[in-house]
Amino acid sequence: MWTLADRKIESRLLIGTARYPSPQVLQDSIAASGSQVITVSLRRESAQENNSKRFWEYLSESGAHILPNTAGCHSVKEAVVTAHMARDIFNTNWIKLEVIGNDDTLQPDPFATVEAARILVSEGFEVFPYTTDDLIVAEKLRDAGCRIIMPWGAPIGSGQGLRNIEALKTMRKRLPELTLIVDAGIGAPSHASHALELGFDAVLLNTAVALAQDPVGMARAFQYAVSAGRRAYESGLMQASSRAQASSPTVGLPFWHHEQNL
């Protein structure tokens, strides 16, 4: 068990709900992933056909806590208004804050994100801000009152994995008191496992599961990968070395005994 904001949960895998072939595949994938937190874009889902009563029933039946997000927002005002709508609709003060600054890279606007975070925290929201791997921005978000920060591994939907490992390591080391969740860019279970091995508290992903040939099977693979990564981190990974070290002792072996008698 670990604590995410005000809830104790078991899974360290958060999963998105967009772009699945069908609501049934979505529901089956959530179950296979073991995720207890699912993120939903209020703006995106409201505009699509799967915004049916049955779609929302699938989300409710999953038993997972819903983390609404402000995907598609490009300004502080848009993000704040969307957050308030999400709180009313989903009856939660959790909000994944996204304020996009560039439509090609979908890179978040750091200035607008920090400003929106400060406003929303003051209004009682538990803000999960999506940001880059920039340490200074993360520190500004912390100073704005965020207890949880979600740095990207790589741009959204790129599947590149952890593109700047040293920056992520530094963020983890410098912000030990915060909950850090790698969000965006995760394309393979090994990427998710690596993030957990680095000491990140969880990962959030969507495309890697939703667009897989077998979304349910991929969701299960990510469940195992996240669990393995966390166990490895807690068990203490060996340190990399620039030189080889024999795993078997040489003392007592026949060739060693022979050389000593020469």
Half-sphere exposure of 180 (CA within 13 A, CB side): 30
- Closest CA relative to residue 82, chosen from 93, 73, 74, 92: 73
140 given a catalytic annotation:
no
The catalytic residue among 8, 53, 77, 96 is: 96
Q: Cα separation of 91 and 96, whole Å? A: 14
Helix, strand, coil percent values for the chain (each to nearest 5) = 45, 15, 40
Assigned token pair, 238: 């060996």
Assigned token pair, 159: 């599947």
Cβ atoms of 11 and 34 within 8 Å: the answer is yes
Catalytic residues: 96
